[in-house]
A and B are shown apart, each in its own frame.
Chain A
Amino acid sequence: MNVKGVIERGMRNSWGVILELAVVMVPAIILVGVLEAAGIMPRLAVLLEPVMSWFGLPGEAAIALVVGFLVGPYGSVGLAVGLRLSPAEMTILGTMVLIAHSLITETAIAARAGANGLIVLGARLAAALLAGVLLGQLL
């Protein structure tokens, strides 16, 4: 095995991922900071608390969940860091978002490759909610 080549290619690929992450995460963290300072976040939290409590997550985490579902895990991680979620909450949010993320793009890719997009989308969302309810009970 060409160890040097492996390390070189690994490093090169990492740079792309880290850059992509930074571009999404930094604005997401700033957004949370601004929403908190402006007093919008606490109101949002109270509003969404009843739904999010099924998953053992605080109300504010709803934006990290929805952004994860629709846009992608990077934005979701950024928001979660900004919200200072606990390790248990990171585990719950992460499991749900990794099961169902970037649903717009990824469902389009699946449909393009020949799948029934509606089944893929519905089953992924259902699976994420199931994981959330399970972990909400356990953690």
Chain B
Amino acid sequence: MNWGVVLSDSLHQAGSALLRIAVLIVIAMIVIEALKESGWLEKISKCLQPVMQRLYLPGEAGVPVATALFIGLAYGAGVVIQMRREGHLRRSQLTLALLFIGLFHGMIEDTLIFVSVGGNGLILLGLRAAIALAVTVAVGFWLSRREQKRLAGQESESIVENCPIGHN
């Protein structure tokens, strides 16, 4: 076996893939900077408000979601931490916001990396978006049902405590 050939083949492959990827990364990074600089990121955050409500989230969650979508997961999570400190989100909403962000973030550069090696961008982006929405709605439905049950349980307990017949 000729290991020199294996190595030079691999390096050749890596070089040509990296070159293709590099071109698209530069484009992606310039687009992201332009979105931040032009104020479009804020506009997108506002447009996401109605979508957030469908996901069992408050409208303000549009800001961390837009940040994660265009800039990255860590930045989006940072915004969530800030909102949590300010008391905007309940535990179940924190889970839902971070689930959606986890499923769908870094949509420009991550998608382009797979496109530059042959992937179909429309499917990579479209199916990921559809599944992220569907899974977040399903988990949100489940968490809200669980919360309602817990609240209902607390109510019936307090009724028992206040019932004069029970105490006599």
Identify the closest chain B residue to A17 (Cβ): B25
Q: How far is the CA of A22 from the CA of B10 in the complex (A)?
A: 13
Inter-chain contact total with CB atoms closer than 8 Å:
195
Tell me, in angstroms, the Cα distance from A7 to B28 when the chains sit together.
11
Q: State whether A17 touches B29 (Cβ < 8 A).
A: yes
- B103:A135 contact, CB within 8 angstroms: no
* Given A6-B30, A109-B73: A30 in contact with B10 (beta carbons within 8 A): yes
Q: Mark A20-40, 1 if CB is under 8 A from B, else 0.
A: 011001100110111011100
What is the size category of the interface that chain B forms with chain A? 35 or more
Q: What's the nearest-Cβ distance from chain B to residue A106, in Å?
A: 6
Determine if B123 is an interface residue (Cβ-Cβ < 8 Å). Answer: yes
Interface footprint category on A: 35 or more
Task: Kindly specify which of B13-21, B48-56, B152-160 makes contact with the partner chain.
Answer: B13-21
Instruction: Closest A residue to B111 by CB, please name it.
Output: A98
Could you tell me which B residues sit within 8 Å of A by CB distance? Answer: 1, 3, 6-7, 9-11, 13-14, 17-18, 21-22, 25-26, 28-34, 37-38, 73-74, 77-78, 80-81, 84, 89, 91, 94-95, 97-99, 101-104, 109-111, 113-114, 117-120, 123-124, 127-128, 131-132, 135, 139, 143
